[in-house]
Structure 1
Amino acid sequence: MKKLYRLFYKDLFLTNRLFAALAASVVFFLFSFFFPWLGVLPGLFFWTVLALFLIDVMMLYRSSKGVFARRHAPERLSNGDENELGIYIENLYPFNVSIGIIDEIPFQFQKRDIWFKTTLKQQQHKLINYLLRPTKRGEYEFGAVRVFVKTPLGLIRRRYTFSQDETLPVYPSFLQMRKYELMAISNRLNEIGIKKIRRLGHSLEFEQVKNYVAGDDFRTINWKATGRHGTLMTNIYTDEKSQHVYCVIDKSRTMKMPFEGLSLLDYAINASLVLSNVALLKEDKAGLITIAEKLGSVVPADKKATQINRILEVLYKEKTRYLETNMELLYSTIRRVLKQRSLVVFFTNFESMSGLERQLPFLKRISRFHLLLVVFFENTELQKLSEEPATNVEDIYIKTIAEKFAYDKKLIVKELAKHGIQSILSTPQNLTINTINRYLELKAKQKI
């Protein structure tokens, strides 16, 4: 019995409407001292409110299962993307109810406004959808779904708690990967910013012979097939396949810098996952190396169907470290693991020329044996500062420093080009598109 009373008081909440009615009752009793003609009206009003309160309690507590709720969540969440979740709610009462729902989302989101209001008719059900955007990889713990129910009288609320504790892993941006995958399969990558690359000449990978049509390159006419068929026939070539594409991710302290909630490492991880998937769709072999002051993970290049899952599982566990990159170790690892000429996409960050100068000797050595593409980040915050008008001496000083850092980034691009090293200077938001564009460009120009 004590347990039932405890549960009753624990799940019973008084509403503002009840407090307003009680306040009105007090006012009536107060006025009755000055206006005797009110008579029994204040007492009648008070007992009416009390009767309605008891009726409200009986309506809500007449059944132990008045409503049902359940959270609908995917098996895993995609880092940096808007993930859709839902709450299924069903009214089992024989009357209409007003409902408020609290979903206990993980503390990592730092959100306290996950409150949904809706109304349900008797035996009606709804699915309420909402979006969550995680900004860190790892495990996110969800709690219970709490539902607060009001009758049309609205004097009290009854709370229902549906224990649905679950832990969802947050993986690198597989939603972004799927989007690019669908575009690549249907040859519609240009719709999301991927440029159409003009091919210079053709590769040595023969595909088929077909009838010549106006606009075909006359240099690809197959004269033997033309003689056999009596009509002009032309050879069709495709991009060379089974080329090795390695994403090398720097996990040092330079990649800890955050932009829009995500660290540079997370941007690099998301771009690496998408690039690896596009390379596999192009029938190339994708591989992965992570490095900081010591070697992280190494996934040898392959084009098996399970390769993208292997890369995804490795990227899920990677974290930023707080020392500088051991470039000598990176060079020796590349020489040991990469057995043939490959495209090496090195995701890192340089904030000054001195930072480049420390790594340049090793980058030059890598570029002797492989096609090296260095991808680093444009500091968008400094770019905004350099574009703002200066109104005082302090603003002039800040703007000058910001412009100097931006200029150093451009000097880094020129310095890398001087030594025959490809580079991409990109904002974090456009990193994926810029990287895929350069990969397709290098492939079309047969530089791999």
Structure 2
Amino acid sequence: MKKLFQQYYLNLFLTDRLFTALGLCVVLFLLKFFFAWLGDIPEIATGVLLIFFLIDVFILYRVSEGVDAKRFTSKRLSNGDENPVQIEIKNRYGFGVNVRVIDEVPFQFQLRDKDFRLHIKPAEIKSIHYNLRPTKRGEYNFGFIRAYISSPLGLISRRYNFDGAKTLPVYPSFINLGQYELMAVSHHLTAFGIKKIRKVGHSSEFDQIKNYVGGDDIRTINWKATARKGGLMVNTYTDERSQNIYCIIDKSRVMKMPFEGLSLLDYAINASVALAKVAMLKEDKAGLITVSENIGAVVPADRKSAQLGNIMNVLYKEKTRYLESNLEALYAAVRSVVKQRGLLVFFTNFESLSALQRQLPYLKRISKYHLLVVVFFENTELKALSSDPAKDVEGIYHKTIAEKFMYEKKLMVKELNAHGILAILTPPQKLTVNVINQYLALKAQQRI
């Protein structure tokens, strides 16, 4: 009995068309007091409306499963990217129906407008497509798919609740990894913002000896092999491989600053995943270290096929902390984990020169053993403020302070370079491209 009550009563909703018809009946009853010639018309109209109401209930409820709906998504969502979602609805009634679909998206999106209206013919299947852009990593819970079905009469609507409950993890941005994979092997990289790097000389890693063909560098002729073979033979070389590339991500409070919905930590994580992908395509080993007041996750460098998945599984739940980073602990971790010289890309942020100088002694000690690249961020709001013309004295003051902070950022780059530490000062939206540019440049210059 309870199930029957829930099936019929709780899922039955009156429509605006029914209330309009009832209002007209009420008006007819009122007019009957002034116009006797109306006679039994109000009662007849009300009776007809009641008959149509019962007919509408019957035709909607005579089929137990009149429609079917399913949600299709990927197994995981990509943070900061547009992720496609599809809802497929099939009409099993013998007549066309009007459908209102409400999809219960995860609360993190704070969306109340995923409300779709469509008309579906008998036995027809229609699809609804929309995109979701998460801005935080973690687990997202989808709820029900609620479909409100109305017949051509349109006096009532029947609600169907389809259990679309699903928990999806939101991983660091992976949708564009295919694009960065192209960057690593393509000769036409400028279309993606990747600079074309001129190689200095050739790599010192020997590959093979082959017959000379027109266009080969005559400096690579192997004279001993030429004498034995009786024809010109040349040495060929390949890029040096199996270098250790570690992304070090600062999780302290300086990485909590938001930009276009994502925190600086999210931008650093997305760039780390892309750099790891490109490094492994270049046959280098990719690893990961996270640090805040203590050392967090450590993924030793490797180039096996599952390495990128291991890195993403570690990163998708990482969150910013509220204390300052312990670079002394980072130095100890680097010395114990990274056994041979490699490239360390440290994603952090400095808002003042004094903040950099506090951490500089530890950065210098790390750079003695490894090629260290420190990546920190431009404050784009300050840049916009400094470029706007000042309209009053207060505006002049704000502009002067903004220019002072921007100048300090440039001083930080010079300070790091003066101690043999490479630095990248970048806007958040250009972080991934700038980091990959730097890696490819160092690779071409044979500095790693």
TM superposition score normalised by structure 1: 0.94
* CA deviation profile, 1:77-115 (whole Å, cap 9, x unmatched): 111111112112110000001111111111111111111
Separation of aligned partners in 2, 1:43 and 1:393 = 77
Question: SS of the residue aligned with 2:33?
Answer: helix
- Match of 1:153, as an amino acid? L
1:415-430 aligned at under 5 Å gives the runs 415-430=415-430
Distance 2:390 2:37 in 1: 74
CA contact (8 A) 1:212 1:221 kept: no
SS at structure 1 position matched to 2:177? helix
What is residue 43 of structure 2 aligned with on the other side?
Answer: 43
For 1:406 and 1:212, locate their aligned partners in 2 and report how far apart those are by CA, in whole Å.
54
Please tell me the residue identity of whatever aligns with 1:341: R
SS of 1:34's equivalent in the other structure is coil
Compute the displacement of 1:3 (Å).
4.2
- Deviation at 1:335? 1.6
Per the alignment, residue 8 of structure 2 pairs with 8
Which residue pairs with 1:125 in the alignment?
125
Partners of 1:384 and 1:357 in 2: CA distance:
27
Look up the SS of the partner of 2:175 in the other structure: helix
> Cα deviations across residues 242-272 of structure 1 (Å, max 9, x unaligned)?
1111111111110111111111111111111
Which residue pairs with 1:295 in the alignment?
A: 295
Instruction: Give the direction of change, closer, same or farther, for the CA distance of 1:287–1:181 in structure 2 (3 Å limit).
Output: same
Task: For residue 242 of structure 1, give the secondary structure of its aligned residue in structure 2.
Answer: coil
Aligned residue-pair number: 447
TM-score when scaled to structure 2? Answer: 0.94
Amino acid in the other structure paired with 2:26: V
Contact 1:180 1:189 survives alignment (8 Å): no
CA deviations 1:6-25 (Å, max 9, x no partner) are 43221111111111222222
Shift of 1:218: 4.0
State how far apart, in whole Å, the 2-side matches of 1:37 and 1:221 are.
115
Give ranges in structure 1 of 5+ residues lacking alignment. none
Aligned to 1:163: 163
Structure 2 residue 193 is matched with structure 1 residue 193: yes
Deviation at 1:284, TM superposition (A): 0.5
5+ residue gaps, structure 2: none
SS of equivalent residue, structure 2 residue 63: coil
Q: Does 1:435 align with 2:432?
A: no
Q: CA deviation at 1:340?
A: 1.4
Q: Which amino acid aligns with 1:285?
A: K
* CA RMSD in angstroms, aligned pairs only: 2.1
In structure 2, distance between residues paired with 1:405 and 1:129: 45
Which residue in the other structure is 2:329 paired with? 329
Q: Is the 8 A contact 1:210 1:236 kept in 2?
A: no
**In structure 2, do the counterparts of structure 1 residues 5 and 314 end up closer, same or farther at CA, with 3 Å as the change threshold?**
closer
Report what 1:345 is aligned to. 345
What residue identity is the alignment partner of 1:352?
A: S
Three-state SS of the structure 1 residue aligned to 2:69 is strand
Q: What is aligned with 1:60?
A: 60
Indicate the SS of the match to 2:152: coil
Q: Percent identity?
A: 62
Matches within 5 A, 1:18-97: 18-97=18-97
Report the Cα offset of residue 183 of structure 1: 4.5
**How far apart, in 1, do the equivalents of 2:69 and 2:336 lie?**
56
| Aligned partner letter, 1:204 | S
Task: Give the letter for the 1:349 counterpart.
Answer: N
Equivalent in the alignment of 1:356: 356
- Once the two structures are superposed, the pairs formed by residues 233-248 of structure 1 within 5 Å of their partners are 234-248=234-248
Q: Give the CA deviation at 1:420.
A: 1.6
Distance 1:9 1:360, change over 3 A: same
The 1-side partners of 2:212 and 2:50 are apart by 90
Structure 2 SS opposite 1:45: helix
Instruction: Please tell me the residue identity of whatever aligns with 1:272.
Output: S
Please say if residues 203 and 446 of structure 1, whose CA atoms lie closer than 8 Å, have aligned partners that are also in contact: yes
Q: How does 1:381-396 map to 2 (within 5 A)?
A: 381-396=381-396
Say if 1:397 and 1:227 are closer, same or farther in 2 by CA, change over 3 A: same
Equivalences for residues 114-153 of structure 1 within 5 A: 114-153=114-153
CA displacement 1:175-221 (0-9 Å, x = unmatched): 2323322443555544322222111111112345465445x544334
Could you tell me whether the CA contact under 8 Å between 2:199 and 2:444 is conserved in 1? Answer: yes
